[in-house]
Structure 1
């Protein structure tokens, strides 16, 4: 094991998790592009996961974001744990001086990453449904407490880390679709209903012994819950090209996740939220090949062109039901 970076070590001291003058040791974790993340062992033997936001993300494009986002991630973790106990790692603290966030360590052998399970073709519809169900419960909890909005003044952060690199950047590539994409940005930014995670991706969901556990809420924002639903469903569509043999199973997971989520929508008409998610989804779909954060597993142009073909078609004629998106993609890939 290595000594943790000085800033993180100071952060642990600031949180009272480490005595002044002591050093924590651990190992850096891979997989993230927006933070340095470590599994650490404290001198008293306790284990923790700590992370520190990066000003420049680890992607090819010049993508920068304010490091203050760890503050709001900590607040999201606390609220999610209130809404659905066990749906997020226990928060140990957040040191604003160094930007260090500390949370409980969840051993990988008992908490595999959902993305890895999907990569291997393990598409469990019951788990997908529980992802939708828990996400809706978190949204419903916050929607019933509008005073929480004051804790998440993150409009500019959400624009910098989500709307600009995904939809605005894609509009610059597909200029004929720019009005539609910019319209999605404006609508999403102005819809203020509940606490949004902002990065509900299989890479940020653990398959825990008692159900899904959501990680990495750096994009936490008071806004449109349809963004979280569309963002997650987008990955289930894209995974069909990563593991074609499991495509039909992934599309079934898409259906059950969406159904379970919409069954929990009580703060507005479910059909209204579904219409926003369905029309946003093609923009996010196209963004994962032509935005600033393309998915790493689509490397063949023929696969990217399939995404472009369906995404562009649906942006020209926006759907109001998620099944329309699923049907268009199923027709394209023969699943």
Structure 2
């Protein structure tokens, strides 16, 4: 583990100053900072002192992707607020916020050792597909949406539409529409409806890379896009990744399809804030757009490297965007048969 020298790194200096400001580091107390990998939107460091370990996360103004992608750094505050709020409903489902420095755009949270909290994405890529865990993700996501839909005041506290549009709608939906001009009208209509729908507190990035397989169940990370919006986006965003993991060469799709169904069933068992058919229809319309976005949007997945894999995604997604399906399980079944 490398000791970073604060005299040679302005970012580390800012973190140390913030830690002292938050009361997490005493005057003159040293700390070892180790950069952690896994995200494109923030710098994350493991901080080790003489008696504790914690994480510090600082939002970047420009994301670490090939395309130019600049976003507001104030999203750090939204993420910390989302974690604090969710802790009331699902205390084991989020890291503990230890401190926040909004002026420097960062916050500190508990460190979750990877040997006891593996990243769900890594397991899925290794073909370790646990339908029971997918059901836990669906149930917990449904619980969060249901609880937030019933709680007054969240729409005002999480009115983060500008960030959600900059980080999710533009790079995923609008950028994909530009790559497929014949589908522009349809995709823009889906984008407009998603932005206009305000029903629950959403995470905005429910991806397996942001879910740990904790000892007590799923742990949700990276809620930078949190806002009061359309729960269909969270559901579609997560289900999309179960389809995508099965788009790789030589990967049997049935296991991912079974996890998809388990997540859907567990999620819909929690619905009490709106009509299931309406929510499922919005999710089913978003799903193929997000599927296509991960090959032709601003943030393509790194594991579909072959042209035939990417073309398979395009062949499947484009007709579903033009003529949306209403049934999520039917979409998963159709993809499994491809």
1:328 deviates by: 2.4
Write the distance in 1 (CA, Å) between the matches of 2:335 and 2:218: 26
**Counterparts of 1:136-215 in structure 2 under 5 Å?**
136-215=142-221
Change (3 A) 1:254 1:261: same
Which structure 1 residue ranges, 4+ long, deviate > 4 Å from structure 2? none
For residue 7 of structure 1, what is the aligned residue in structure 2? 14
Q: State which of 77, 92, 114 in structure 1 corresponds to 2:98.
A: 92
Write the distance in 1 (CA, Å) between the matches of 2:171 and 2:331: 22
Q: State which of 41, 48, 53 in structure 2 corresponds to 1:41.
A: 48
Q: Where do 5+ consecutive residues of structure 2 fail to align? A: 7-11
1:8 deviates by: 1.4
3-state SS in 1 of match to 2:103: coil
1:330 deviates by: 1.4
3-state SS in 1 of match to 2:100: strand
For residue 57 of structure 1, what is the aligned residue in structure 2? 63
TM-score, normalised to structure 1, is: 0.96
3-state SS in 2 of match to 1:206: strand
- Post-superposition Cα deviations, 1:257-304, rounded to whole Å, max 9, x if no partner, equal 011001101100122111110111011000000000000111111110
Write the distance in 2 (CA, Å) between the matches of 1:149 and 1:19: 38
- Alpha carbons 1:146, 1:194 under 8 Å: kept: no
Q: How many residues align?
A: 331
Change (3 A) 1:285 1:194: same
Write the distance in 1 (CA, Å) between the matches of 2:155 and 2:25: 33
**Counterparts of 1:111-130 in structure 2 under 5 Å?**
111-130=117-136
3-state SS in 1 of match to 2:246: helix
Write the distance in 2 (CA, Å) between the matches of 1:130 and 1:86: 13
Write the distance in 1 (CA, Å) between the matches of 2:156 and 2:250: 44
3-state SS in 1 of match to 2:228: strand
Write the distance in 2 (CA, Å) between the matches of 1:153 and 1:175: 31
Change (3 A) 1:244 1:258: farther
What is the root-mean-square deviation of aligned Cα atoms in Å? 1.2
1:246 deviates by: 4.1
- Post-superposition Cα deviations, 1:11-34, rounded to whole Å, max 9, x if no partner, equal 211211012444421211111100
TM-score, normalised to structure 2, is: 0.95
- Alpha carbons 1:10, 1:98 under 8 Å: kept: no
Change (3 A) 1:192 1:38: same
